[in-house]
Structure 1
Amino acid sequence: MKIRLLLLSLGVALIASSSLRAQDPKLAPAAKAEKPETELEKTMGKMNKARRPVRKAAKEGKLTPADAALVATVRQGAEEASKLTPALEAEKPAAERAKFHADFQAQLKKLVATLTKLEAALTANDLPAATKLVSDAGALIKGGHKEFKKPDENEHH
C-alpha cells in the first residue's frame, strides 16, 4: 500500500514537472518585439497620464481649481510635442511632408490655446466653462491622433 502511494506521488510529481517545463520560454511562442518608444510617444504618454484624472473629474462633475496644475502639465507637453516630428510624417511623400508638419503644429497650437483657457477657467473656479473646455480638448486630441498618429497594429479603434 505504501509503495502504491509512493509511486502515485512520484507519478504526479513527474507529470507536474513536465507540465512546468512546457512553459519554458524557449518553447513558448515568441512575443512580438516591442518597438522602441519615440520621443513624441513619451511626451504624449506624460500628457495622457496628467490628462486622465482631469477627464475623469470632469465626467464626474468634480473638477477643482487644483486640477489646473495637471492641465499645465498637459499644456507643457503639447508645447514640447510641437517641437517634435510624428513618425507618420516620414511615411508621407516628400512633397506632402511640409504641409503635414505645418498641420500637425497648427493642431497642437489649437490644443495649447484650449488648454490655456482651461487652466484659466479652473484657476478662476469657472467649473461649467472648464467642463466644456475639457471636452473641447478631448475632441482636439482625438482628431489629432486620427490625423497624425501612425496606426498601431495592436490597437483596435
Structure 2
Amino acid sequence: MKKTWLLGLIGLMSYGGYRLGNAQEQQEPEKHQVIYSPKVTNALIYIYDKKTGEFPLCVLGKRKGNTYYVNDLRIPLVTQSTDSTADYNKEDCKNLDGYLGMVHNHVGDIRLCEPGNKDLRGFIYDERAQIEIIVCDVNSDSTQTNIRVWYKELLPKGLINSFKQQNP
C-alpha cells in the first residue's frame, strides 16, 4: 500500500512589499487546516502526476471553524493550458454548491509552488473563494506530493488593497 504524504507547507512569496508565506507570521497553518477525502487525495495525485500542463479544478466541500473538508473536485471548461497558465470558465466553479476555491498545479521547480500574479488576482477577486490550493512536486511513483494552501482570510489586508488598486 502506497503511503501518501500531503504537506501543507507555506512557501515564501513577495508581492508589493508583502510576504504571503512564513507559516507563523502570515498564514498560521497550525490554526487552519484542510482535510482531503481519500477520493480527492487519489484524484489529486493521479491527475497531477499524469498532467504536464497547468490544470485547474473546482474545490468542493464545507468549512467548520478553521477546518476545510474537501470532499469533491470538478473540472471547469478549460479553454487553454500551458506549463505556466490555464484559462478556464471561472463561473463553472463559483456557482457550484459547496464551492471553497480552486486547486491547480505548478509544473517544475518546487520554488514555483506559490500563487503567481494571475493566481492572486483570481483568488482575491473571487468573492466566494476561501482557499487557493497549489499542487507541485508529484513523484513519478505517485507516493508523495506537495500541496500548499492559502487562506483568503489570512492574506494581509494591505496586500489585498494594494493588489486591487494596481489591478482593478
TM-score, normalised with respect to structure 1: 0.25
Q: Which has the higher strand share?
A: 2
Structure with higher RCO (Cα < 8 A, 6+ apart): 2
Higher helix proportion, which one? Answer: 1
Report which of the two structures shows the higher radius of gyration computed on alpha carbons: 1
